[in-house]
């Protein structure tokens, strides 16, 4: 599978620390460089038949539909697509006007991930989103009118401008709009963001973990009552609408990341990442050089990743795979660390897979880190 990072946004959201630029000055040079990178790295993926292509960012919908198509055409020069390939484009609601959607509907893109975040104006203002509450709803309806049935929306809970009642209304609106996939995250205060600055100066109150915990479990119960499957801590889908791309990440499949700050993984022991600087990325590719660094993951690193990723999903950690892959020292540590958690039923074993019961999912990262080999 392949990920393409589009490093441009109209404006900076208050909570975001991803790599992007609000200047489109070097957009054409960037697209040329990305096409060069696709060519230079065409032999890195063992499987030349892609099951998934994902445009993330940044804001991919800041590009025109023709520019998106040209990147897909470039990929097709060196790879083929499975018949039922999933091609996802992340999009902001304010970009999804009729003209853009019409162009996109004539492209191979067949899945949209819409950065809705909330249907309430106060939430959107705090997050410094570029769209309004009415645009959030209207964009979903327009996308459906243009034939996009495979839709995902992002929703953020636990904001200081929200509460459980507002959260319930957000979820009711989502169900009414018949969206088949939801990715939902607690508002987190990342370093070097506007939100962190506002909180430190007392302009905004800090999100409350207790409130976020309450809203997370309401979210899970409500969506399951409405036919969704909770298949990863932050992801919910109607049957048949799991994100194929993200599920591949969680199952340790190989992937190729194109664009500044994009990561790649060989499915075994090598992870690489591109420089998180647009100018440096373009300069390197203009000289036919890759703008990436890489590391060989130690057995300990591989173990920690398998634990962290697996325990966030409905599938859990495959114990047969774990026992085959790791040495006695790591496995002895693992057995020692899980013993008390199994007794407390913080962890369970089902069908030879180690899992966290859903009632403890909000604490999953902490539970997983307790098992790390350090």
User: Are residues 246 and 322 located together in one domain of the fold?
Assistant: no
Question: Do 81 and 220 reside in the same domain of the chain?
Answer: yes
At 144-194, the pLDDT tens digits run 999 999 999 999 999 999 899 999 999 999 999 999 999 999 998 889 888
Same domain assignment for residues 122 and 241 = yes
Domain annotation covers residue 240: yes
Give the Å distances, CA to CA, from 104 to 9, 32, 96, 328.
Answer: 19, 21, 10, 52
Q: Are residues 178 and 327 in the same domain?
A: no
243 & 331 share domain: no
Residue 140 lies in a domain: yes
* pLDDT at site 21: 72
Q: Could you tell me the two tokens for 10? A: 């109209």
Residue of 311, 318, 299, 298 whose CA lies nearest to 232:
311
pLDDT score for 127: 85
Specify the 3-state DSSP secondary structure of 15. Answer: coil
Strand duo 181-186 + 353-355: pairing: unpaired
Tell whether 76 and 164 lie within a shared domain: yes
Is 151 among the domain residues? yes
- Total domains present in the chain: 2
Same domain, 244 and 315: no
Expressed as residue numbers, the domain containing 303 is: 299-371
140 shares a domain with 213? yes
Domain identity same for 338 and 233: no
Output the pLDDT for position 139.
96
Task: Please compute Rg for the chain using Cα positions.
Answer: 21
Can you give the pLDDT at residue 20? Answer: 67
Query: Domain with 236 in it: what CATH number?
Result: 3.80.30.20
**pTM for the predicted model, two decimal places:** 0.94
- Reduced to 3 states (helix: H, G, I; strand: E, B; else coil), residue 353 is strand
Q: How far is CA 358 from the centre of its chain?
A: 20
Residue 72 lies in a domain: yes
| Low pLDDT (below 70) residues in the chain | 20
Per-residue confidence (pLDDT) for residue 246, from 0 to 100: 93
- Say if residue 317 is in the same domain as residue 188: no
In a domain, 208, yes or no: yes
- Long-range contacts of residues 136-144, Cβ cutoff 8 Å, at least 24 apart: 136/93, 137/173, 137/177, 138/93, 139/91, 139/93, 139/94, 139/96, 139/114, 140/93, 140/114, 140/116, 140/177, 140/179, 141/177, 142/96, 142/97, 142/98, 142/101, 143/96, 143/101, 143/112, 143/114, 144/178
Question: Do 317 and 181 fall within a single domain?
Answer: no
In this structure, the number of other CB atoms found within 10 A of the CB of residue 217 comes to 14
Residue with the two structure tokens 């509460």: 163
Nearest to 234 by CA among 260, 255, 215: 215
Cα 221 to Cα 243: distance, rounded to the nearest angstrom: 20
Residue 278 lies inside a defined structural domain of this protein: no
Assigned domain for 123 exists: yes
Measured in whole angstroms, the distance separating CA 44 from the mean position of its chain's CA atoms is 22
The verdict on residue 92 lying in a domain is yes
Q: Provide the angle, in degrees to the nearest 10, between the axes of the packed helices 27-40 and 65-78.
A: 20
Pairing of strands 270-274, 80-91: unpaired
Number of helices (H) and strands (E) in the chain: give both, helices first.
Answer: 14, 15
Q: Shortest CA distance to 313 belongs to which of 248, 238, 227?
A: 248
Encode pLDDT of 95-125 as tens digits: 999 999 999 999 999 999 999 999 999 888 8
Cβ-contact 230, 358 below 8 angstroms = yes
Strands laid side by side in the 270-274 sheet:
263-265, 270-274, 292-296
Same domain, 128 and 207: yes
Cα 238 to Cα 152, 225, 228, distances in angstroms: 11, 11, 5
Contact indicator for 130, 94 with CB cutoff of 8 Å? yes
């Amino acid at each position: 599978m392949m990920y393409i990072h589009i490093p441009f946004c109209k404006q900076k959201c208050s909570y975001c620390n991803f790599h992007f630029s609000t200047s489109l000055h070097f957009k054409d040079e960037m697209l040329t460089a990305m096409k060069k990178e696709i060519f230079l790295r065409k032999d890195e993926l063992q499987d030349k038949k892609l099951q998934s292509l994902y445009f993330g960012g940044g804001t991919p919908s800041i590009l025109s539909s023709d520019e998106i198509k040209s990147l897909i055409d470039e990929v097709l020069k060196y790879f083929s697509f499975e018949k039922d390939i999933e091609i996802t484009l992340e999009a902001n609601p304010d970009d999804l006007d009729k003209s853009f959607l019409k162009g996109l509907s004539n492209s191979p893109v067949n899945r949209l991930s819409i950065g809705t975040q909330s249907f309430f104006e106060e939430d959107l203002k705090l997050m410094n989103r570029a769209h309004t509450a009415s645009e959030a709803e209207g964009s979903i309806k327009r996308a459906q009118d243009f034939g996009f049935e495979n839709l995902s929306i992002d929703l953020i809970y636990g904001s200081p401008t929200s509460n459980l009642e507002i959260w319930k209304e957000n979820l009711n609106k989502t169900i009414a709009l018949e969206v088949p996939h939801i990715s939902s995250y607690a508002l987190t205060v990342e370093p070097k963001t506007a939100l962190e600055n506002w909180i430190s100066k007392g302009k905004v109150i800090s999100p409350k973990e207790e409130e976020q915990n309450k809203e997370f479990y309401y979210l899970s119960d409500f969506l399951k009552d409405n036919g969704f499957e909770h298949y990863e801590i932050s992801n919910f889908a109607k049957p048949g609408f799991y994100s194929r791309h993200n599920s591949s990440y969680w199952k340790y499949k190989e992937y190729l990341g194109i664009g500044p700050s994009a990561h790649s993984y060989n499915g075994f022991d090598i992870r690489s990442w591109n420089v998180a600087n647009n100018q440096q990325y373009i300069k390197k590719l203009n000289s036919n050089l890759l703008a990436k660094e890489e590391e060989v993951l130690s057995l300990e690193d591989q173990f920690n990743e398998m634990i962290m990723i697996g325990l966030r999903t409905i599938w859990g950690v495959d114990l047969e795979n774990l026992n085959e892959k790791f040495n006695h020292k790591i496995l002895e540590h693992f057995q020692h660390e899980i013993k008390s958690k199994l007794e407390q039923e913080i962890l369970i074993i089902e069908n030879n897979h180690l899992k966290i019961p859903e009632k403890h999912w909000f604490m999953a990262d902490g539970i997983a880190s307790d098992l790390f080999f350090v």
